[in-house]
Amino acid sequence: MFRIRRIFDDVIPVNRDALNQVRGILNKRFPQAPEEDIIHIGDKLRNPFKLRFRPILFVAENMRHKVLGFAMVLHEPEINFCFLDWIATARDTLRGGLGSALYERVRSECSSLGVRGLFFECLPDTQGACDPEILKENVARLRFYERYGARPIAGTAYEISVGQWISDNNNKADIKALPSDKVDVGNVPSDKKDVGDAPSDKADVGDPHPDKVDSYGSCSPFLVYDALGSDKPLSRNHARRVVRAILERKYAELCPPDYVEMVVTSIKQNPVKIRPFCHVRPEKVKKNVDSGLKEKIALVINKRHEIHHIHERGYVESPVRVRSILSEIEKTGLFDIMETEAFPDTHIHGIHDADYLAYLVSACEETAEGKSLYPYVFPIRNKTRPPRETTVLPGYYCIDTFTPINRNAYPAARGGVDAALTAAKALLEGRRVSYALVRPPGHHAERRAFGGFCYLNNTAIAAQFLREHGRVAILDIDYHHGNGQQDIFYNRSDILTVSIHGHPAFAYPYFTGFEDEVGADEGEGFNLNIPLEEAVNGEEYVKALSRALRRISDFEPDFLVVALGLDTARHDPTGTWSLTPSDFRMNGRMIGETGLPVLVIQEGGYRTRNLGINARNFFQGMADVVFSVTGRKSLHDLSHKGMKISYEPIDGDVEKIEKLVESTGFFRPDEIKIALELVRERLEKGAESGYFFVIARKGDKITGYGCYGPVPCTLTSHDIYWVAVSPDLQGRGLGKIILSEMERLISEAGGLKVYVETSMQPGYASTRAFYERCGYNCNVVLEDFYAPGDGKAIYSKTVGFKIA
């Protein structure tokens, strides 16, 4: 039994171990592979600049985290294709469907990214091309891929090796040998009806021996194309761009420019010819791609929550809250339910004082079944002189009058701790998102006090657990201040605490949550409170969340723990704000865009009519980003309106963009001239110009476009130069789609910050409002920059995260 998961980085131990096992497989299966490629495979995940591809690594592992096989895919978002760089299984893994499972997972990912095809290299299966033993292995490989409709591109010079080209042209340049075929399918299925007569144990082969292959000399690879189930033919222009990117980036040190031109221009047919089926009958081809989510959110439910039920009128923290959330999120298909593990009390004692815990346990045990003990006397706390009366003690350990002690409070809260720690452990095992659906909540529980329906601080306990494996940031997005985390970590710098909440002037807990509470001693500067006004809508909340995420980005954590309060919603009985389901989806998306492993722990939210709907939207927004299945959804929406997105200007676009920009009425002639110069430079120099485009087209018309590029002399900063939309389409979301697509491309290229400059003139108020709605913050205004009375506003947004 095995599972396939994606490895995003080498931060957590389980990922580092998996990468070491991948290196071991590479050394065994591909002994000719450059040692540097093997050693630095983790670097590729962290630094996509090196190859100008976005690497995606999948590992197949058993329940003991032994890696049984892996696949590395290179995603090129601008040209919109994927290249399968490696696929291999361990030598002792011959059966069990690993090769098929890995390849199908790769196809699923490519489909969800919306790419136009998957490309890879495979040694030829033609008689006389290779040594007979190698030929047999190549036939098995290509037979396997034909089962999915993937076949070699025909009629081009891709199969001509660099050495052969040099020899044919009497070129004596010193050229390194290209590496041998790195696409090694593990266990090609043995069903002879589908894959011919090669048994699976013979099809699982390592790299051909170098002295038989002549290093791609007389046994040069095919370029294989998988259309991912599409019937749309491969166009010549797209194929040329793909081949150029492969040769110039992946084999930059091996392929001279003249050789690259020779191969690219050899692609003459339009559409490109794909070789007919040779090994599999066409009716046997598995064309459909399972584009459903393979990675899901780990869901851990505190099954003991129902024993804690206060049946008194007006007590809103009730079991129906969990049922309301669960009924809605189950509809999404986003979640894997995990059984709760039992964890020792040492994790709790690391957060809460021993005397408080001893009181909580004994008080709950001593309270009669069905009875509740409410605090009513609150002495000034003197740790050396606690009161003796049982009825008075709750006030010594509590911060309010409405959180009772009863027989089941501690057992229910203790179950919540186990659920939170189980969800935290799921991150250490490779999950990208996990969710502890717990009650009672916990974020108001301080080191030695309970209150606000909270007894044990699940968020703080889980954060401390994760801290043993990396830096941790806590983001509390409950309507009420996360006073518990602030109290517990106030003097520490290794865990950042951030809280967005109603101002304590009117919101519980009233005594904490002020902006000037920034931490103390070593923790000074590591507690950020963002108190907001009594009336807050979604747009205003996005600004606060952007500020919070910028601070988290600066902290450079390895894990993010989110205390999820849904009491920020409209009509919640404990709040005053007016967030809607779409606002929660945006919030989830923004948090997902951090790229961090995220542990979500349920806190408040008490209007059960829409509680589950808001939770569902929050997680759908997060999944849109984390699992790479959307970010393309808006682009698909465009296709329904007859529009499509392209990423390269073509002949004739200069005039069309000129007409578009003029039609907006926003820009002066000299500004329009600059816009057209950027288009011309891209047409002339391509990517070397430093200008990149997202263009919306409808038929022969350009309906909107954006232009962006890296800021010179920086590593991770980008400028948005232009966003323009046809006047008849303004206000319909096209500008936001174009901007979001540029942000996605910047983030996937390793970008961190995006900057936008615009005028402070009244006529640009709508432009400034547009960027603010999209999560941009105004960093500075330069007075009289463009002209007297016309200042320049500089906006920025974080779209990626720093990587140490």
pLDDT over 90 (residue 148)? yes
Question: What residues does 475 pair with on adjacent strands?
Answer: 498, 562
d(CA 632, CA 629): 7
Residue 175, pLDDT score: 41
pLDDT over 80 (residue 732)? no
Mean pLDDT calculated for residue range 407-415: 96
| Residue among 305, 308, 444, 501 flagged as catalytic | 444
Q: Residue 232 corresponds to which tokens in the numbers above?
A: 């749309």
Burial call 133-162: b when 16+ CB within 10 Å, e when fewer = ebbebbbbbbbbbbbbbbbbbbebbbbbbb
Provide CB contacts within 8 A for 263, sequence distance 6+. 156, 157, 158, 160, 243, 247
Look over the chain and give the mean of its residue pLDDT values, rounded to a whole number.
85
Query: Across 368-372, 535-539, 613-617, 637-641, which has the greatest mean pLDDT?
Result: 613-617
Contact between 628 and 112 under an 8 Å Cβ cutoff? The reply is yes
Question: Is 444 an annotated catalytic residue?
Answer: yes
Q: Residue 645 corresponds to which tokens in the numbers above?
A: 């997105």
Residue 212, pLDDT score: 23
Residue 327, pLDDT score: 96
Report the Cα 173 to chain-centroid distance in Å: 44
Looking at this protein, which amino acid is placed at residue 269? Q
| Sheet order of strands, 790-798 included | 644-646, 692-698, 701-710, 717-725, 753-759, 790-798, 777-787
Task: Categorize the per-residue pLDDT at 50 as very low, low, confident or very high, splitting at 50, 70 and 90.
Answer: low
pLDDT over 80 (residue 409)? yes
Residue closest to 185 by CA, chosen among 88, 67, 72 = 88
d(CA 617, CA 330): 12
Residue 434, pLDDT score: 97
Residue 193, pLDDT score: 27
pTM higher than 0.75, yes or no?
no
User: Domain 297-626 - what CATH class?
Assistant: alpha beta
Task: Categorize the per-residue pLDDT at 381 as very low, low, confident or very high, splitting at 50, 70 and 90.
Answer: low
d(CA 738, CA 178): 39
Residue 191, pLDDT score: 33
Q: Residue 555 corresponds to which tokens in the numbers above?
A: 């902290």
d(CA 566, CA 611): 7
Mean pLDDT calculated for residue range 665-687: 90
Provide CB contacts within 8 A for 302, sequence distance 6+. 322, 340, 412, 415, 416, 418, 419, 436, 437, 438, 439
pLDDT over 50 (residue 472)? yes
Kindly report whether the peptide bond that precedes residue 55 is cis, defined as omega within 30 degrees of 0: no
Q: Which residue has the tokens 């490895």?
A: 7
Q: Coil, strand, or helix at residue 753? A: strand
Mean pLDDT calculated for residue range 67-76: 92
Task: Categorize the per-residue pLDDT at 295 as very low, low, confident or very high, splitting at 50, 70 and 90.
Answer: confident
Q: Residue 772 corresponds to which tokens in the numbers above?
A: 């603010």
The segment(s) of the chain belonging to CATH 3.40.800.20 are 297-626
The segment(s) of the chain belonging to CATH 3.40.630.30 are 3-284, 633-798
CATH topology of domain 3-284: Aminopeptidase (3.40.630)
Task: Categorize the per-residue pLDDT at 724 as very low, low, confident or very high, splitting at 50, 70 and 90.
Answer: very high
Residue 255: other Cβ atoms inside 10 A: 20
d(CA 372, CA 314): 14
CATH of 633-798, one of 3.40.630.30, 3.20.20.70, 2.40.160.60, 3.40.50.300: 3.40.630.30
Residue 744, pLDDT score: 82
Provide CB contacts within 8 A for 537, sequence distance 6+. 577, 578, 579, 583
Quick: pLDDT tens for 297-330.
999 999 999 999 888 877 899 999 999 999 999 9
Residue 96, pLDDT score: 58
